[in-house]
Chains A and B, each alone.
Chain A
């Protein structure tokens, strides 16, 4: 009886009693959800265009952020470092296409998945070798990202919004809109969708697969860079961020591997769900449930909808 009360009633009583805390928690969940969605977006881009489940997306995020910060530490001005990092991401996309994807064309999906595992390890190795394994602070002020917090008086208390979080939400939404527009309206976007639909048909109308792969990996690299800057501004840049990147996997699966809106909705569900769960139900279990709650939510959703919330229906033929 007592346990039931604690699970089903007490958290809601707490929410009602302190609406400012609830709003604060929701806001935190919203922001981390948007940022998860941003990582997941990189996955979706690559999966849609090449059918590769790119496990290295999270590491690409850390790698991009680390390159940016590392270059700045070596004395390169902030914006030059940003351009150089973009160049590095382009080189990475070229390298991956040439050295990993092209030789592995026509292999089963699982092999490509494993290859991105290998890529993950290579990137971790290079990143730590070149820039060192110590956590670094993100160069927020040099990139003119806002700092500090806005306190809003509401619901009989204070709700504190970090300015960087607001910026993150705005930038992430802009990215999503741009990518959506690019996918729907531009020539390259149409080519990408064609490749996603059918490799052979796309080839036969004259779309170069190799070129498309470089473009998507580069686009995913840019998304990774933005995600890396925004995550790095919230905590330090180091390979510990990898754990955050792994969270993007449940987000992705929840939304469905092939859906851009799915990635966003999935991100919001996971972000808000885990913050609420941690804050209101976490103490019951001793805290720290944030580390696995997302995965369990996804497990539950997948049992009902095996293709995720917005994924294309999986049709199997013999």
Chain B
């Protein structure tokens, strides 16, 4: 009843092909943006902002990156954490070599380094497919993680082997480091996320996105209709690693504040893949759903038993998190292989009909 397109007339092709063709969707998006921009920072406490929302934004960005590669171009990657690490270390090096330049510039610039590394490890994808490619990308994961440990230059020969983020300012406001307030970091994160989601949305809805989807569905057929596979696959690797690099830089600079090479281990790669799968392959909104679910799960499991008066040890909760995550993945694959994004679509369809059965 409330959610339907009746009475909305399209006067141009552009209006007809808009991503949000219905007024309710546009206003819904505006409300979500308003909540994210005004309500949450105004009402949320520091815990909510620093350990729920900022990580969620970072992970959502990385998930969008992996979704471009796996969901849109059909190339399974298990090396995503490695590419995130490249972004983080590039940003660290750049900002320590040229500290006077705006940190947000470096966060974006570090994406290009991840992009270059991603293209390099994406080259085998031209010959290797499916499971074989997934294992080949493990090479990137382990090799890059080894570099973060062994190449002292990357962490400025810091004896602890970790990278620590100094204070950087943006127009006079401290953005990173100890003196930055959670709200400043929140806004910087949100700004980057909105800009990059908008770019991703334009990419996947345009010619490039269709090219990727054709390659995903059947690459030989795509080649026959004139898509250059080299171009399409490497572009997917490049764009996806760019996103993951930026997300990695954000993770260290705006969320954690310091990172060891272990932060970019294979478990992070797996988690990102889960977010993509649970959220829905080939869906941007799914990336947000997946990131929210997988990130919120441990937090919920930590707070819920305490709220119910149960006292479980922290180790038990960690193990439970593993079990529940794994169980959820299997459950979702069986119940809805297309992920939360598909459920959202079904819900929208139901809303159109409501309150009538058909």
Q: Which residues on A are within 8 Å of B, measured CB to CB?
A: 53, 99-100, 103-104, 107, 109-111, 113-115, 117-126, 128-129, 133, 246, 249-250, 252-253, 257, 285-289, 291-292, 295-296, 298-299, 302-303, 306-308, 314, 316, 318
Contacts and interface: CB of A to CB of B under 8 A. Distances in A.
A137 to B, nearest CB: 21
B135 A125 contact: no
A307 B132 CA distance: 8
A129 B142 contact: no
B323 A292 contact: no
A295 B328 CA distance: 30
B134 to A, nearest CB: 8
A119 B333 CA distance: 12
B284 to A, nearest CB: 20
B19 interface: no
B260 to A, nearest CB: 15
Chain B residues touching A, range = 35 or more
A118 B329 contact: yes
A110 B156 CA distance: 41
Please give me the 7 A-B residue pairs with the lowest Cβ-Cβ distance, nearest first. Answer: A121-B326, A125-B323, A118-B329, A295-B139, A125-B322, A122-B326, A292-B142
B330 A316 contact: no
B321 to A, nearest CB: 7
10 contacts: A123-B326, A129-B323, A288-B146, A292-B146, A295-B135, A295-B139, A296-B143, A302-B136, A303-B124, A308-B132
A57 B130 CA distance: 18
A118 B327 contact: yes
B135 A298 contact: yes
The binding surface of chain A is classed by DSSP as helix
B5 to A, nearest CB: 33
Interface of B: 76, 124, 127-132, 134-136, 138-139, 142-143, 145-146, 149-150, 218, 220-221, 224, 266, 270, 273-274, 277, 315-316, 318-330, 333-334, 337
A252 B134 CA distance: 12
B325 A128 contact: no
B234 to A, nearest CB: 15
Contact of A303 (B127, B138, B224, B319): B127
Contacts of A126: 319, 323
A100 B132 CA distance: 23
Contacts of A286: 150
B270 A103 contact: no
Given A115-B329, A253-B132, A121 B138 contact: no
Nearest to A239: B322
Contact of B132 (A114, A287, A302): A302
Contact of A316 (B138, B220, B273, B315): B220
B334 A103 contact: yes
B138 A288 contact: no
Contacts of B136: 253, 295, 298-299, 302
A114 B277 contact: yes
Find the residue from A99, A114, A249 having the highest chain B CB count within 10 A: A114
A23 B189 CA distance: 56
